[in-house]
Structure 1
Amino acid sequence: MLKTKYKMLTIVALAFLMLIGCYYLYKFKVASIDRLSIDRVQAPFTKVESVETVKSSYDLIVVGTDPEGIMAAVSGARNGLKVLLLEGRDRDILGGLMTLGGLNTLDLNYSPNQPWYYRYLHKSKFLNEGLFQEWFDQVEGSSVDTHTAANVFYQMIKQEQNIDLLMHVQKMEPILQQSGENMQLTGLAITKPDGATEKVEAKVVIDASQDADIAAASGVPYSIGRQDIGEGKAKMAATLVFRMDHVTNEAWRNFKGLEGLGLDSTSIWGFGDARKYPPSDPNKVKIRSLNIGRENNETILFNTMQIYGVDPLDPESVARGMEVGKKEAPLIVDYLKKTYPEFANMNYAGTASELYIRESRHIYGEYRLTLADVLENRDKWDAIAYGSYDVDIQSINYSDVGTIMLSPMQYGVPFRSLVPLKVDGLLVVGRSASFDTIPHGSARVIPLGMATAEAAGAAASLAISNDMTVRELSQSTKLISKLRKKLVKQGMDLTYEKFDQPAYMKHKDYKGLVTAASMYMTSGSYSNEAWDLDGTMSIGRYLNKLRTLKKAHPDQFPGFPDGAVKDMKDLLTGPLTLEQAGYMLALTAGLDTTRETALKDLVSRGWISEEIIGQMLNVEELTNGDTYMMFYDILKNGFGIVYE
């Protein structure tokens, strides 16, 4: 009887707890209806003060006060280093691209496994966490108020007694000395705001400038833009963020429920039809769908304008890009007000003070992140950060719509990608680290840069305490393991999650897919299903693929495929046969051959294997995957080039 009574009491207690739980879940759900309203007031910018006296030597110098530089400095200081943080641009606040460039909507790296209850708490689990999470917990959400962001960055710096901050540095030059086969960076010669020059020694320098300026000046090898896929002159679109005001809570709620629109309390994404905006000069500017970030003073920021032809390493070109953007911004606002009722009562409120540049230098480091790494969601033995953001390749001209290459689940960024070749005593963090141009479309995002910067600061401390260079550290499995443990202890999450690998990796033509995608021939889009490996390849499309192959590898493919189709203009949309594919490929490779003998010539040279041909299901109608495998074969067997 007593047992039955206790059993009944237990059941009642559990039922009561379930009711309480359901009530609070319901309360969270109901509360979310009005989570579109904010009642915050925008704080003024905290005045940023520079150190009065710069010491002659520091353990660590960090260059740049973009988010990556701030995290590197804070991490170094918390790991016991004396740090000098330098800003070489004419800036009065911290945060760079995010605050002065107005890029207030964050490209976040979500964990592939989200705790089920997070959605009721309106939270998300991010990869890495650590200092990024510490900062994120003090700002508004997926989009941040630029004043809040800048002030939190400054607060994090001011809390560290080991950091000296110097703004408005007029000039910085590396101090180098020969050390074996490499140069050793031993410090920087700086010209201070008052014009005085001073040499400052450092055991390690972290280059967190947007364009890896210190690394380039030190002699670190690098590629520019899409140079590594044969498009050295191509320049990814730049953006000038602009503002609209009079965005009340009621105005924000008016966006709720619109078709094709994403919305939370601080961000809006969508309005795909906005692409129909008629630009004043299509050769210079256009807009894409709208990315909108909300601030605390009834203003919103638009990351939507695309400005073409801006050379990020030419100050005059950047200035011209700013002028193009400033002239176009009010025209875009007028169009939005006339086209969408939701914007009708809002007004143009100016632009950001800096241009948003997405891509410039890519250094060559001890490891270069490849697209294959991202395609396969690879972990790395020395992973010090993880990414999962879409591989987003922005357009380079008006007729180019850009590409979402794929959406990874989780890939590791190795510490070696921060360690440049040729120069010791230096680490590079941010968008100019050692990433190939295609995976850079994901790895360039600010939160991932903040994570790599935190790792760089901790690594500098570990290298110094072990009396070794950061390059020597990068080669030690024992010390990298110690670095990873140190990062986890200070709040980072370096867990490689469990998840199913994407279906495309199981396809028989997967190696060809890696080859084609690495040369920017194909994409999987957000769904990772647009590769269309089993789709039919037309003669015309194959011709374009060969032109891309030739562009990526001009030395290996000096010939021209066009001669094979000069009398076939009416047939370019038709299916591609193996014979025709072999002939066009052989001509591109510079072989003197005929349509009838070309494939035999490629096979006899060992450039195309019988195995690849044997896997083709229909030689009279090749698939996309069939042709990509031919590219894989000829690059590997003919020239020793493998994308992996």
Structure 2
Amino acid sequence: MHEQRTDVDANIDATAATDVEADVVVVGGGSAGIAAAVSASEEGARTLLLESSGSVGGTLAWQLLEHSAGFHDVRGNQVVGGFGQRLVDRLVRGGGSPGHVRDDVGYTATRTPVDHAELALTESIMLAEAGVEVWLQSGPHAIHRAGDVIEFLAVHTPNGPRRVRAPVIIDASGDAVVASLAGVPMQPDTADTQPASLLFKLGGVDVGALLDYLREHPSEVRPGSTLGYGTDEHANVWGLGELLSAGYTSGKLGLRRTELHLAAWPQRGEVVVNATRTPVRSGDGWAGAAHAQLSHQVLQFVRWMREDVPGFAHCHLTAVGDRVGIRESRRVVGVYTMTGDDVRCGARFDDSIGCGAFPIDIHSADRPGLSHTDAVGAGFEIPARILFVPACANLVVAGRCLSSTHEANGSLRITATCFVTGEAAGVAAALAVEHGIHPEKGDYDLLRQRLLARDAIVSLNGGS
């Protein structure tokens, strides 16, 4: 392994002609990465964000997630503030979100619909306002290590290869790209990795007709659901099991599902549909075979909905996620690994940097519905130690690749929680640069104080 890394290093030296330096480099421009980059820059660090696609926004924006979730516990108490709430407030002011609204299906207390394009544009502006340098269509393909420290990243850019150096690297790539290149140990429980999906958006939908049908057929919706009307601004539907069963039996649908999720903007006639899925191996979410399989499913669902689902007779496909949607892939082994019991039992930690409260949401890769869902009550605290990687002293992780078990990841991967871990990672990185130390060696009390000053909610009691 050492010899192989030496060969890779030689290739780096030969091909990367230009060195670029920053205080903090963030890899990944999704929810966690944007929160990390903005926070690090606002805390005084010269920050560079690398995003492999042509736009920031990540899964929430460009995989067309139905809404952001996880801001409140089951009782409606807010558990996520800080950067995530700042972003929501800004979207509300600009008309890009109604803010936190009731979850019609009763799965959580609230959900936060967003206009996907306005979200991405707003995040791009916030990065610029914070002074973050952003490189789009740019991502690391190799790293150079000296012992347990990453010395630089070798980065592909539209302008050729670059070597990027920084005392702290934040991996917010979702797939643990930097950690994997650095040879960091990964969590072993990958056999039950959640399936991949491809969400799609339909226009020309008579949402009122769909809601009327569901009112007449209450067995078609999740128990406890609240059904709105076609004049509402937003609607959330979970169900259609009977129509799905008939579609599979008739051969119109090749994928057997017992439920699907619809997030609707009735006044616009738009609906985002979460129905497709296919198994993927950990770290294999970019495979073309998965995308082709999911694409086939999308077109089947569109045709079936036109023919068999009330309100969809004149619908048309307006958008599809820009890449395969990955719920779970590689997760690092950190200083501490958060477990399912931590999440279920409302664990508290002296080094807590934020909170979560979304249910443990496990989708089955080989069954027609959810594998299981575990409620988490008033929520749980998130320790700073899951962000730090013993095998790589200057690497911090945030988002779904942080140190957690398969079950814990079912809650931690949610976008509101990604804002939490991203902001904490960014502040921790800036503090490490400020004090000339590696992030894990930082003062956790100082980290919490800085987060509180940013209106983050660092513990379940809301205080320090």
What TM-score, normalized by structure 2, do the two folds share? 0.82
Partner Cα separation in structure 2 for residue 61 and residue 303 of structure 1? 33
Whether contact under 8 Å (1:267, 1:291) holds in the other structure is no
* Structure 1 position 111, deviation (Å): 3.6
Structure 1 residue 235: Cα displacement: 3.8
| 1:291 alignment partner AA | H
What is the match of residue 92 of structure 1?
A: 54
5 Å-filtered alignment, 1:253-268, equals 254=212, 257=215, 259=218, 260=221, 261-262=225-226, 265-268=233-236
1:591-602 correspondence to structure 2 within 5 Å: none
**1:279 deviation in Å?**
8.3
Report the counterpart of residue 284 of structure 2 in structure 1: 314
Match of 1:492 in 2: 456
Q: How far apart, in 1, do the equivalents of 2:54 and 2:200 lie?
A: 20
Q: Helix, strand or coil: the match of 1:292?
A: strand
User: Does the aligned pair in 2 maintain the 1:130–1:491 contact within 8 Å?
Assistant: yes
In the other structure, the counterpart of 2:270 is 299
Alignment of 1:4-153 (within 5 A): 56-88=20-52, 91-111=53-73, 114=76, 125-137=77-89, 138=91, 139-141=96-98, 142-153=112-123
The CA distance in 1 between the partners of 2:384 and 2:167, in whole Å, is 18
Query: Residues 284 and 426 (structure 1 numbering): CA distance in 2 closer, same or farther, change over 3 Å?
Result: farther
Partner of 1:418: 387
Which whole-Å CA distance do the structure 1 matches of 2:183 and 2:163 have between them?
19
Query: Structure 1, residues 385-431: CA drift from partner, whole Å, max 9, x if none?
Result: 11110101110213675111333321011000010121110101111
Q: Secondary structure at the residue paired with 2:62?
A: coil
Partners of 1:283 and 1:272 in 2: CA distance = 14
Partner deviation per Cα, 1:142-181 (whole Å, 9 max, x = no partner): 22111111111111111122x1110112543222112xxx
Preserved contact between residue 62 and residue 85 of structure 1 (Cα < 8 Å): yes
TM superposition shift of 1:290: 2.7
In structure 2, the residue matched to 1:531 is none
The offset of 1:460, in angstroms, is 1.0
CA contact (8 A) 2:346 2:376 kept: no
Summarize deviations over 1:180-200 as a string: whole Å, max 9, x none. xxx1123312232122x2222
Maintained 8 Å contact 1:105/1:143: yes
Q: Is it true that 1:185 corresponds to 2:150 in the alignment?
A: yes
Q: Distance in 1 between matches of 2:342 and 2:457?
A: 20
Distance 1:356 1:336 in 2: 22
Correspondence for 1:207 among 168, 171, 175: 171
Matches within 5 A, 1:278-297: 278=248, 285-294=255-264
C-alpha separation in 1, matches of 2:369 and 2:315 = 31
Of residues 213-222 and 100-109 in structure 1, the stretch that sits farther from structure 2 once superposed is 100-109
2:423 to 449, 454, 459: 454
Residue 61 of structure 2 aligns to which amino acid in structure 1? Answer: T
SS across alignment from 1:270: strand
The CA distance in 2 between the partners of 1:252 and 1:481, in whole Å, is 52
Instruction: Quote the Cα distance in structure 2 between the aligned partners of 1:350 and 1:216.
Output: 32
**2:391 paired with 1:439:** no
**Structure 2 unmatched ranges of 5 or more:** 1-17, 99-111
Aligned residues: 415
1:363 aligns with 2:332: yes
Q: 1:365: how far off?
A: 0.3
Letter in structure 2 aligned against 1:191: H
When structure 1 is superposed on structure 2, of 103-112 and 58-67 the one drifting more is 103-112
Measured at CA, do residues 281 and 362 of structure 1 come closer, stay the same or move farther in structure 2, by a change above 3 Å? farther
Query: 1:472-531, CA deviations, whole angstroms, 9 ceiling, x for partnerless residues?
Result: 12xxxxx21111111111111224149xxxxxxxxxxxxxxxxxxxxxxxxxxxxxxxxx
Code of the aligned partner of 2:56: L
SS in 2 for 1:149: helix
Asked whether the 8 Å contact 2:381–2:459 carries over to 1, the reply is no
Q: Which residue of 1 aligns with 2:198?
A: 240
Task: Tell me by how many angstroms 1:343 deviates.
Answer: 2.6
Which residue number corresponds to residue 318 of structure 2? 349
Asked if residue 270 in structure 1 is aligned to residue 238 in structure 2, the reply is yes
Contact 1:288 1:306 in 2 (8 A): no
Secondary structure at the aligned position of 2:146 is classed as: strand
Query: What is the deviation of 1:437?
Result: 0.7
Q: What is the distance in 1 between the residues matched to 2:250 and 2:388?
A: 44
- Alpha-carbon distance between aligned partners in 2 of 1:281 and 1:428, rounded to the nearest angstrom: 44
**Higher RCO structure, 1 or 2 (CA under 8 Å, sep 6+):** 2
**1:201 aligned partner, one-letter code:** R
The answer to whether the 8 Å contact 2:253/2:300 transfers is: no
> Which sections of structure 1, spanning at least 5 residues, go unmatched?
1-53, 115-124, 474-478, 499-644
Q: Work out the CA distance in 1 between the residues paired with 2:170 and 2:324.
A: 23
Taking every aligned residue pair, what percent have the same amino acid on both sides?
Answer: 23
